[in-house]
């Protein structure tokens, strides 16, 4: 019986770095989203652009917060 050890998909030591970078990118895109929301007037706001920005931002924020949880010892 050849038993192979299973490791995590991403090395545990990478979690803090990854969480910093993904969260930073996510927050920047979130900022872009809110700046767009605040500056563009109601008439010429483009829904597609809003949805695209928010989707990208939530992917980065989602992974970033997951890595933050893992880095701080909350293994989900």
Nearer to other proteins, 20 or 50 (CB): 50
Binding to other proteins in span 9-28, by CB under 8 A: 9-12
User: Do 50 and 30 form a contact (C-beta atoms < 8 A)?
Assistant: no
Residue 48 in contact with other proteins, rule: CB under 8 A: no
Give the interface with other proteins as residue ranges (CB under 8 A): 1-12, 33-34, 37, 40-45, 47, 50-51, 54-55, 57-59, 61-63, 65-66, 69-70, 73-76
């Amino acid at each position: 019986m050849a038993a192979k050890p299973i490791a995590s998909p991403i090395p545990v030591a990478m979690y803090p770095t990854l969480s910093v970078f993904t969260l930073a990118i996510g927050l920047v895109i979130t900022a872009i989203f809110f700046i767009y929301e605040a500056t563009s007037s109601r008439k010429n706001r483009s829904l597609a652009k809003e949805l695209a920005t928010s989707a990208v931002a939530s992917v980065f924020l989602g992974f970033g917060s997951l890595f933050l949880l893992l880095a701080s010892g909350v293994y989900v």
